[in-house]
Amino acid sequence: MSNEIDIKNKIKANSSLFTNFVKNAVNASPKVQNNFLDVSAQVALTVQKILEDANLVTNLEYKGKDFWSENKCKTACFIDGGVDKTSIISSAPLSIRTGSYIVKPDAADKNREFFEESMVFLGDLYDPKNELYDFAEDDFDEDQMLNKKKDGARIIFEAVTIVKHILLNRKFDYCFLHGPIEATVMPFTVMGFPTFTKFAVENMLPFYNKNKLNAEARHFINVYLEALNSIKKSKFPTYGIVETSNSAPYIKNLLYSYKSKGTISEKDFKNTLSTIKKYKITDSHLLEIILQSGQAIKPLEVKKQIKGFSVTSGSAWEDKMDSFPSVHIGYIKVNDHSAPIRIESLNQSKNLIKDYEYILATARLLPNYGFPVGLNVVDKFAKIPNWMSKASRKYYATHLLKQAIRSKDQNTISLAVKILSKKVRSWRNRPLGGLAR
Amino acid sequence: MNTKKWKSIGTVLGETNISEFYFSLKNYKAKKGDIITTESKIPSSEGNVVPVTVWGKISSIESSNAFFPTEAAQELTNENIDIRDTILPTTRDELICKVIILGFTLKDNLKLMPLNYPVRPAATVSYPSSEDVEALLISDLDSEHPLFIGSLLARDAVKIKIDADNLVSRHVSIFGMSGSGKTVMVRRIMDELLQKKYPMVVLDIHGDYLGFIQKQKKLYPNNQVKLFYPNLSVSSDDKEIIYTLIDKLGNSLTDPQKDFLSSLLEKVKYEGGSLLKYIELLVRKAREYASDSSKSFKNIRPASMYVVVRSLGQVAKKLKNMEQTNFRHRQKMSKLKFEELPDAATEPEKIVNKGQLSILYLKGYENLPASAIVSILLENLFKHRQEVEEEIPPFLTIIEEAHNFIPSRSEDKDNLPSVDTIRKVITEGRKFGTGVMIISQRPSRLDETIASQCNSQIVFRMVNQKDQRATTRDSETLSVDDSKQLPNLANGQGIISGQVVNFSLPVQIKFDAELINDDIGNENFITAVENWDDKESVKQRKKFAKDFSNITSIDKRRAN
């Protein structure tokens, strides 16, 4: 009972879960609030027992000065992508790049750290001659897929950046990616999702299927799988690190493994999963209150690409999704006041605790944020700054208007003005006074 | 000027205008105060586009490391971690410089012209060679008589010269804290003007310029350097000084007492000359009138007359004391030849002459008498310059500790006689060649009208904000950025602005060690005490003091 009270107190004191709790409180009655608290506490208590039973919780050691003194000889690479999703009706400009921050603390000044712009694309996705994606026949499809294409480009660029380092035979002790090491590919399995251009694939994966780069081979699913398989074979440990988890893959898989062993009944498993879903309980929520600062959860092997959804069902890609590598997911709680960070890798590390301690140490360098500082650094480096996005938007707007004015057609000019003032209603696009005739 | 040889040191950032721009600087490639250039294009009056070189001065530099999170510093400190052991980036410092645009030059013409079209963003910023910077400064100064004063603060190799013609005619103020380099600067200018045989009159309160007398033969064999001590004088037609002296140095008088003093001044005839002798004469005469029961002054009681006698006596005593103090100081410098200040009305050429430096040593005199001395001296010299028959050449007056002679109205000392005189000299000085150089450590305490007449400023380290504000208030060319720099200047570093240079320049003044007065030397009192030995009289006193003390100690009788 005391454990339960302890957990309830933790929920109240806990930042992200408490925010969720408050959100509920705004909309719901006191009864519902209490119920949310009770459910969260009960699930946490149960999960805590299972974690202890499976011996999955581990204490990490961190002695700041000594740790860095011993580990300054290690080379670490941090990777992140930055996208400018400038939006204008008439065009689909995309600026995307991935950056790598490579650092070996004890190297001499000029060799100590490198900032590399590893992959870059600047272009317009509505341009049939763009070098990234093949152009869809149907304009409607092209428009519908726009956001997916941008996401797909970012995901593939980040993965390919790791591959590039592998191909260059870089001698890293660690490689970290800001975000999941393996993204869910389901959104890209929809009909009509365009393939990458031959030029793009040749540039991204020069070793891939050299003789036969047909449309199927150039589809996101195949290219991404190829990249992941290459990453899996990497000689250096590579981790994807996620700030907060919006789902509960770890808890669900943990419960699943206990169900498989027969420790949990099928009914209890299903009911608990249903509760987790209904109450939107995530790994972050639960582990934030279960784990202490400096504790980690050892990884579980999880299949990220789950088939059987309506989108993928019957799709040609359903079988392919099965061939994606499974992901090892663990968590580290860096400090008392932030949610645990999710650590993903394609391989089970031989030096798991050492690796986790390295991640913890890099995250402790941001004592409040609690996220590996190298990823924070590369995030700032790769980010497309506002002034650049603004300039690009300005350029597109000016170009559009100039073209319209050049046409001397009143309707075209009027359309251009409307397009440009789509979001912020401008004076020129104001409603006209008087009665409509 | 070979611009191709200039090193590229940065890139102009985003938004620019015609007065300033920012640029990103390569590490360690330039400093604050450096002169830099960028190539640009401007529309000409003929409608063409003309390539130009834009010149600017780095007025501030800011450094930041966008990749170094603030909270990481907290962890490094708490855990005593060396940043170089961690993965934190240490080499991504970003340096942003603010540049004040000085103007542009055309190819093969080094005359700076005001920029009227913004510089190009993303243009390369270059570091011109020292020779080219110096050539630009000299060419732009366009001076017939340049005076060398030091080097550009950020670059030793760039020699800085200022324009002597503007300096001696349009007045200059030199401000800075005590020990910041004002006197070093004045000595430098004096040295240069002596080479040009330009006459100077220095009002020296502390004896800072006596080194010129000592080194005259060696350094200035072709000049005359005269050292004067003051002679308080009064003219027959201007006896106003007596009222002021009584007001400041004596007892304040009631109306009947003032009436008596006025009548006394009218009755007692004096053809002009020593002020002290005149006051002594007045005392004698006033005593006579008081003792003969006021035959001449029926309405004034003798008691009132005696008050005036006492007051005049006090003034005379104080003046004598000051004279004696000044005399004692002179005695200490027995190797130096002091002369009594000649009468500027009748013998101005003895004070102002071609190639002559006249130093008036005022040590020991209080403000008012010193002000009276200066007022009479300058009034007379100025008159000679005003006359059609000019008896003396143009000259420069150097006023040390100027707040003693031209205090601000807020100091409540504006009745000092020197204020009006200097105001007149400085206002009309340009016409008559009577330039003034005012030196002070407290510009906020100076008369605003006089300070604002100085068309050039040389400002040294200054921490007091009131003084900083006064400095920028009185200057048309000293920018706010320049004034921000003032507290951080080191000794001998100053900012020169105004007509002597055209645009403000941070300068390291050349230190002339040989011009220090050996007799006064540094204020090294610790060494003085270490070498201290009692004088003979003190030794004797100490010797007998013990015996007398013994007598006192055995005397047990009660006093009657």
Residue B311 sits in the same domain as residue B212: no
- Looking at the structure, do residues B314 and B349 belong to the same domain, yes or no? no
Does position B435 have pLDDT exceeding 50, yes or no? yes
Residues in B closer than 8 angstroms to A106, CB to CB, are: 84-85
Q: Which pLDDT value is given to residue B519? A: 61
- Residue to test with chain A: of B65, B71, B74, B86, most A Cβ within 10 A: B86
- Give me the pLDDT at residue B296, please: 67
From the list B74, B86, B89, the residue facing A68 with the nearest CB is: B86
Structure tokens at B234: 């009064």
Whether residue B455 lies inside any domain: the answer is yes
Domain shared by B293 and B416, yes or no = no
Q: Is B469 on the interface with A (CB under 8 A)?
A: no
- Report the predicted TM-score, pTM, of the whole model to 2 decimal places: 0.67
Q: Do residues B57 and B183 share a domain?
A: no
Rg (chain A; Cα; Å) = 25
The top-scoring range by mean pLDDT among A150-159, B243-252, B519-528 is A150-159
Supply φ then ψ for residue A121, to 5 degrees: -135, 130
Q: Does B110 touch chain A (CB under 8 A)?
A: no
- The answer to whether residue B94 neighbours chain A at the CB level (below 8 Å) is no
What are phi and psi for residue B247, nearest 5 degrees?
Answer: -60, -40
The one-letter code for the residue type at A290 is I
User: What pLDDT is recorded for position A156?
Assistant: 92
Q: Which of B494, B515, B536 is the last residue of a domain?
A: B515
Q: What is the pLDDT of residue A281?
A: 86
Closest by Cβ to A109, choosing from B69, B79, B91: B91
Q: Which chain B residue shows the shortest CA-CA distance from A373?
A: B88
Q: Which of A379, A299, A311 is closest to A342 using CA atoms?
A: A299
pLDDT tens digits along B487-540: 989 999 999 998 888 788 889 999 998 887 766 555 577 877 888 888 787 887
Q: What are the angstrom distances between the C-alpha of A178 and each of A159, A237, B68, B89?
A: 11, 15, 18, 17
Number of domains chain B contains: 3
| B397-429 confidence digits (pLDDT tens) | 999 999 999 998 877 665 788 898 999 999 888
Position B97 in a domain? yes
State phi, psi for B355 to the nearest 5 degrees. 80, 5
Contact list, B86 vs chain A (CB under 8 Å)? 68, 72, 105, 365, 373
Within an 8 Å CB–CB cutoff, is residue B540 touching chain A?
A: no
Cβ contact, residue pair B88, A115, below 8 Å: no
Task: Work out the minimum CA distance from B75 to partner chain A, whole angstroms.
Answer: 6
B window 200-239, beta carbon within 8 A of A: none
Chain A residues with beta carbon closer than 8 angstroms to that of B91: 109, 112-113
Percent of the residues in chain B that have a pLDDT greater than 70, as a whole number: 96
Residues B267 and B120 in one domain: no
A369–B69 C-beta distance less than 8 A = yes
Tell me which residue in B66, B76, B87 faces A374 most closely, judged by beta carbons. B87
Asked if the model's pLDDT at residue A434 lies above 60, the reply is no
Angle ∠(B193,B168,B101) on CA atoms, nearest 5: 105
Residue A163 exposed, middle or buried by CB count within 10 Å (0-12, 13-18, 19+): buried
What average pLDDT score do residues A314-342 get? Answer: 87
Does residue A422 surpass a pLDDT of 60?
Answer: no
**Contacts B80 to A, Cβ<8 Å:** 64-65
Asked if B91 reaches chain A (Cβ–Cβ under 8 Å), the answer is: yes
pLDDT surpasses 60 at A437: no
Q: CA of A112, closest CA in chain B: separation in Å?
A: 9
Separation in Å, CA of B122 to nearest CA in chain A:
14
Residue A139 scores a pLDDT above 70: no
Task: Indicate yes or no: CB of B80 within 8 angstroms of CB of A65.
Answer: yes
What is the complex's ipTM, to 2 decimals?
A: 0.79
Residue B319, domain member (yes or no): yes
Which of the residue ranges A37-46, A117-126, B458-467, B533-542 has the most confident prediction, judged by mean pLDDT?
B458-467
Contact state of A376 with B79 under an 8 Å Cβ cutoff: no
B122 Rama class: left (phi>0) / alpha (psi -120 to 50) / beta:
left
Q: In terms of domains, do B301 and B356 share one?
A: no
The answer to whether the Cβ–Cβ distance between B88 and A377 falls below 8 Å is yes
Please report whether residue B153 resides in a domain.
no
Would the pLDDT of B172 be above 90?
yes
Using an 8 Å CB-CB cutoff, list chain B residues near A78: 87
Final residue in a domain of this structure, among B271, B289, B323: B323
Residues of A with Cβ-Cβ distance to B69 under 8 angstroms = 365-366, 369, 373, 376
Domains of chain A as residue ranges with CATH:
56-247+282-384 (3.30.2170), 388-426 (no CATH)
Q: Based on the domain organization, do B378 and B507 belong to the same domain? A: yes
Residue B45: its pLDDT value, please? Answer: 85
Q: Please state, for a pLDDT cut of 70, what percent of chain A lies above it.
A: 77
Q: Which residues of B touch A387 (CB under 8 A)?
A: 14
Q: Residue A436: what pLDDT?
A: 40
In a domain, B552, yes or no: no
Q: Note whether B310 and B350 are same-domain residues.
A: no
- The whole-angstrom separation of Cα A224 and Cα B296 is 123
Are residues B257 and B164 both part of a single domain? no
Distance from CA of B68 to the nearest CA of A (A): 7
Q: What rounded mean pLDDT belongs to chain B?
A: 87
pLDDT score, position A388:
60
**Contacts by residues B547-550 (CB-CB < 8 Å, ≥ 24 positions apart):** none
The pLDDT tens digits for B194-207 are 999 999 999 998 88
Nearest residue on chain A to B15, alpha-carbon basis:
A387
Q: Determine how many CB atoms are found less than 10 A away from the CB of residue A60.
A: 19
Q: Are residues B315 and B455 in the same domain?
A: no
Domain assignment present for B103: yes
Residue B487 maps to a domain: yes
**How far, CA to CA in Å, does B472 sit from each of B111, B255, B308, B484?**
27, 44, 46, 10
Residues in chain B: 560
Q: Is B87 on the interface with A (CB under 8 A)?
A: yes
Asked, for residue B525, whether it belongs to a domain, the answer is no
User: Per DSSP, what are the bridge partners of residue A297?
Assistant: A57, A331
Instruction: Please identify, among B293, B323, B353, the residue that sits at the C-terminal boundary of a domain.
Output: B323
The residue segments making up the domain with residue B280 are 240-323
Q: Which helix (H) or strand (E) holds B371?
A: helix B367-386
Mean pLDDT for A289-303 is: 92
- Is residue B165 domain-shared with residue B126, that is, in the same domain? no
Checking if the pLDDT of A244 tops 90, the result is no
Token pair belonging to B271:
């053809």
pLDDT at B252: 79
Residue located via tokens 């360098």 = A365
Same domain, B275 and B226: no
Q: How would you list the strands of the sheet with B395-399, edge to edge? A: B155-163, B146-152, B505-509, B493-498, B456-459, B172-175, B434-440, B395-399, B200-204, B356-361, B224-229, B339-340
In the block, residue with structure tokens 């987790």: A276
Q: Largest Cα–Cα distance of chain B, in whole Å?
A: 111
Provide the residue type at B511 as one letter. Answer: F
DSSP summary character for residue A335: S
Distances (CA, A) of B163 to B154, B188, B436: 21, 14, 15
- A391 pLDDT exceeds 60? yes
Residue B268, chain A, CB below 8 Å: the answer is: no
Lowest mean pLDDT across A325-329, B11-15, B542-546: B542-546
Which chain B residues have a beta carbon less than 8 Å from that of A68? 81-82, 85-86
